[in-house]
Amino acid sequence: MVRRIIALFFIAAALVACSTNAITGRNQLKLVSEQELQSMATTEYQQFLSENKVVNASQDRDAEMVRRIGTRIANGIKQYFASKGQADALKGYQWQFNLISNNAANAWAMPGGKVVVYTGLLPITQNEAALAAVLGHEIAHAVLAHGNERMSQGLVQQLGGTALSVALANKPAATQNIFMQAYGVGSQVGALLPFGRKQELEADRYGLIFAAISGYNPREAIALWQRMEQMSGGQKPPEFLSTHPSEGRRIEQLQKYMDEALQYYKPVGSK
């Protein structure tokens, strides 16, 4: 009986914490405030950088490229959110883009604009527009609150739905683990929770728009995913492949989103 009451309480709390995403229109479970997530992201990002080999952007062309593309996408996203009257959703964002020396074909983004690209991704992306497509996809997960949804689900499933501050105080390691899983950070990609199918479709759709509005040809995303399929053979798939067993279907979906994205596309240098 007590358990049932507790369960009902959490269901009620979850209903209260559901809100409609102003960009996607989808209803999301959000138990954690954006501010709390950004603060946790800042801590975890610094920790991650201190434990990994960061490539120096003032001495390395690839690291400089990651920063340059990232900054343009950050500006593109700002422009997109403002055009939808949602500039506030990016409040507190202080973007950082770092390349780390690591053979995994991986990239991720935390709320507040904390982004990492692994050097192992670059042989697959091969060109700037393709890297922009990956960054657009990963940043979409963060700015569309997918990480918040996963964090909230993790808090409900693993820590009984306690508030983030309580969880952090009582179970710091478990809470940190949920956070890292929610944002796809980790050395063992296979051990991570995959994003849900709806989240992946949203990340693909808005990722194309974010790349396009920043001046990168969104069509490069299709060639990228074809390369990705060929080159990831045998390896553990990166986050952006993990819930897509069938590449053909993903490319089909991307084609469907392409017309919308192309409306935002202005090549770099054109007026």
Segment 89 to 108, residues that bind Zn ion, using CB under 5 A: none
207: CB partners within 8 A, 6+ apart? 133, 134, 136, 137, 138, 139, 140, 221
| Smallest distance, Zn ion to C-beta of residue 194, A | 8
Applying CB under 5 A, does 203 fall inside the site for Zn ion?
yes
Cβ pair 165, 36 in contact under 8 A: yes
Nearest CA to 204 among 245, 153, 246, 255?
255
Can you spell out the DSSP letters for 183-249?
TT-SS-GGGSPPPPHHHHHHHHHHHHHHHHHTT--TTHHHHHHHHHHHHTTTSPPPHHHHT-S-HHH
Question: Which residue bears the tokens 């995403």?
Answer: 21
Number of residues that bind Zn ion (CB under 5 A): 3
| Smallest distance, Zn ion to C-beta of residue 142, A | 11
Closer CB to Zn ion, 203 or 228, in the complex: 203
Closer CB to Zn ion, 55 or 200, in the complex: 200
Applying CB under 5 A, does 183 fall inside the site for Zn ion?
no
| Smallest distance, Zn ion to C-beta of residue 141, A | 6
Closer CB to Zn ion, 57 or 201, in the complex: 201
Strand partners, 167: none
Segment 46 to 85, residues that bind Zn ion, using CB under 5 A: none
What does the CA dihedral 153, 88, 185, 167 come to, rounded to 10 degrees?
-50
Cβ pair 244, 107 in contact under 8 A: no
The three-state secondary structure class of 21 is coil
Cβ pair 197, 109 in contact under 8 A: no
| Smallest distance, Zn ion to C-beta of residue 259, A | 22
| Smallest distance, Zn ion to C-beta of residue 200, A | 5
In the DSSP assignment, the letter for residue 54 is B
Closer CB to Zn ion, 137 or 167, in the complex: 137
Closer CB to Zn ion, 203 or 221, in the complex: 203
Q: How far apart are CA 257 and CA 269, in angstroms?
A: 24
| Smallest distance, Zn ion to C-beta of residue 61, A | 27
Closer CB to Zn ion, 240 or 264, in the complex: 240
Q: Please choose, out of 57-65, 75-83, 170-178, 237-245, the segment that lies near Zn ion by the rule CB under 5 A.
A: 237-245
Q: Please choose, out of 33-41, 71-79, 117-125, 190-198, the segment that lies near Zn ion by the rule CB under 5 A.
A: 190-198
Among 95, 206, 240, 264, binds Zn ion (CB under 5 A): 240
Binding region for Zn ion (CB under 5 A): 195, 203, 240
